[in-house]
A and B are shown apart, each in its own frame.
Chain A
Amino acid sequence: MSDPVAQLIFLIIKAIVMPVLIILIVAFAIFFERKFAGFFAGRVGPTYLGPWGSLQSFGDIFKLISKEDLIPAKSDKPVFKLAPYIAFVPVFLVMAVIPFGPVGGEANLFGYRFDYVIASFDAGLVLFLAMGAMAVYGVVLGGWSSNSNYSLLGGLRAGAQMISYELAMGFSAAGVMLMAGSMSLIDIVDGQAGNFWDWYWIPQIVGGLVFFVASIAELNRTPFDLAEAEQELVAGHLTEYSGMRWGMFYFAEYVNLVVVSMIVSTLYLGGWRAPLEVLDFIPGPIWLFLKICFLIFVYMWVRWTIIRYRYNQLMSIGWKVLLPLSIANLLVTAVVISAVN
Chain B
Amino acid sequence: MSATPAKSEYLMIFRGLDWHRGLAAEEIQKIMVDWMAWSDRLVAEGRSKGRRSLSGGGKIISGKDREVSDGPFAETKEAVAGYFLLEVSGLDEAVEIARECPTVPYGASVEVRPMPANCLASQLAAAPLDRIAEMLAGRAAGSPATSAEPAKL
Do A and B come together as binding partners?
no
Interface residues in chain A, defined as those with a beta carbon under 8 Å from any beta carbon in chain B: none
